[in-house]
Amino acid sequence: MPQPDRPVLDTQRHLPSTTRSRDPACGIANPLAHGLAGLGLLLSACVSGVVPQKPDLAMPPAYDVAAQQALPPAELDRWWLLYEDTQLTSLIERAQAQGLDARNALAKLEEAQAVRASALPMFNPDRNLEASAEVRKTEELDDADDGTVVPAGGSTTVIGASRTRTASLTFPVSWELDLFGRRAAVRRQSDADLAAARFEFEGARATLVADVARSLFQARGLAVQLEDARANARIQRELVDLLTRRVERGLAAASEVDRIGADLSQAEAQALDLESQLKAARRSLLVLLGDGLAPVSDLDVSADIGTVPAIPNMLPGDLLARRPDVRQADARLRAAAGNVQLAEKAFFPRLALVPSVGLQAQRGAFDSTTRFWSIGVDLSMPILDRPRLTALLNAESARGQQSVVAYERSVQTAFSEADQALTRLEADRQRVQMLADGEARGRRAYDAALRRFQLGFSDLQVVLDSERVWRTTRTALTGARIDALLRSVQVFQALGGGWPASQTPLPDSR
């Protein structure tokens, strides 16, 4: 008994056809596909890359210099609040909101998010809707003696003509079946790249915060030094006035007035130089705030250095979670591992479903409307391309080992910077205490020498020597206090402060 007509699907995306008997190719397709897939798995098993693994680094148990107070590590997230400085807090908020570095970092993060969003759709059904239209005129010609002369030398007569209009609408689809975990590998690699971009964003904002604090403290230090220079000039003027009166009474030589006058000119010149440096520092700070075109007068800088706040007590191991550059290197390492896995999966076959539906209409001598559909599979497997894929896999493996080295370097650099900053900050604290005691002693010695000179019990040289010692110590104290403040900013940055690290847990070690 003959079988009824039934559609047979062509695996090469052809239109369905009609047959009266079973196509023997259908019985061959499945074994052939299984055989090709098995061959692909066998060939892919012969290659493997070196997937980078995060090294288990043994961090030191403690720093050489421990913090003096056990503040919670979460205080590092907004470490500038520890200074209890309203101007510093206000400037940092302005920089984070409108600073050029902050805006640029945000744009880079948004770019990374867009790249991440475009990574996975490649595994979704693909292709576009296709449409076409055509108008064709057909003329039937017949030979005739008195017909139209054609270039070939004969003559023809048009005995009939027709016009045909056709239009078609087709929607072909290609959908790759994820049989070997490519989608999951791409997701892991894309997530790691996005995490690295996020930590780069946080690191840029943390650096901006530290730069604003440093610029403000440097400007304040210049303001204090400017006041010291003006105070020194005022002292020199007082000495000039005192010596002038003594010269008028015949108690001192005029050369002594010239000698002090030279010191006065030097002090005034130093004050003028410091004033210009202060204006330049204020301009630099305005650029960090994103207001580089604003007048310098819009930014008021007081001559108040302030004190160094307490430093949170942390362990070296905390740097692995707190430092954004270490977290970024960790994410880059995971992304490199994902790239190696993707390079390995390039040796596996690719299998895709390719369904299609369409509609075609024809108007002319014969009117017809047809609809059609098809479904098939595409199978591709690298055979002759294996040498190139092997080279790419080796390259990704080498890049993965570079990411391991970069991670180790970031961890060692983080510990070195934190340990050095803590050590030098402790030395700065002791230096400030010593110079503060020396400055107080120098001031008392100068006041005593000046009174003795005014009473006529000592000469001018004793006063000048005392004033010079006091001035030198005062200048050193101001510089030490500025250095200590700047060092404290360095410590907070080296410990990984300035971003919400306490709210960002470490990823799985898988």
pLDDT for 363 equals 84
Tell me how crowded residue 377 is: count the other CB atoms within 10 A of its CB.
16
pLDDT for 15 equals 35
How far apart are alpha carbons 151 and 24 in whole angstroms?
A: 52
pLDDT for 209 equals 96
pLDDT in tens, the chain (510 residues): 444 443 333 333 333 333 333 333 344 345 545 655 565 556 555 667 788 888 888 899 888 886 666 677 778 899 999 999 999 999 999 999 999 999 999 999 999 999 888 887 877 887 788 888 888 877 777 655 554 545 555 555 656 667 888 888 888 888 888 888 888 889 999 999 999 999 999 999 999 999 999 999 999 999 999 988 888 888 888 878 877 877 777 766 777 777 778 888 888 898 999 999 999 999 999 999 999 899 998 899 988 888 899 888 888 999 999 999 999 999 999 999 999 999 998 898 888 888 888 888 888 777 888 888 888 888 888 888 889 999 999 999 999 999 999 999 999 999 999 999 999 999 999 999 999 999 999 999 988 988 887 787 877 778 878 888 888 898 899 999 999 999 999 999 999 999 988 777 666 544
Nearest to 120 by CA among 193, 185, 186: 186
How far apart are alpha carbons 237 and 247 in whole angstroms?
A: 15
pLDDT for 234 equals 86
**CA distances from residue 325 to 48, 136, 406, 452 in whole angstroms, order as listed:** 30, 67, 10, 61
pLDDT for 5 equals 41
Beta-bridged to residue 359, according to DSSP, are: 169, 371
User: What DSSP designation does 483 have?
Assistant: H
CATH code of the domain made up of 54-123+177-350+387-503: 1.20.1600.10
Domain boundaries, the chain: 54-123+177-350+387-503
**How many residues comprise the chain?**
510
- Using a 10 angstrom Cβ sphere, with 0-12 exposed, 13-18 middle and 19 or more buried, the burial of residue 43 is middle
**CA distances from residue 42 to 36, 46, 47, 379, 489 in whole angstroms, order as listed:** 10, 7, 10, 16, 58
pLDDT for 129 equals 82
Alpha carbon of residue 147 to chain centroid: 80
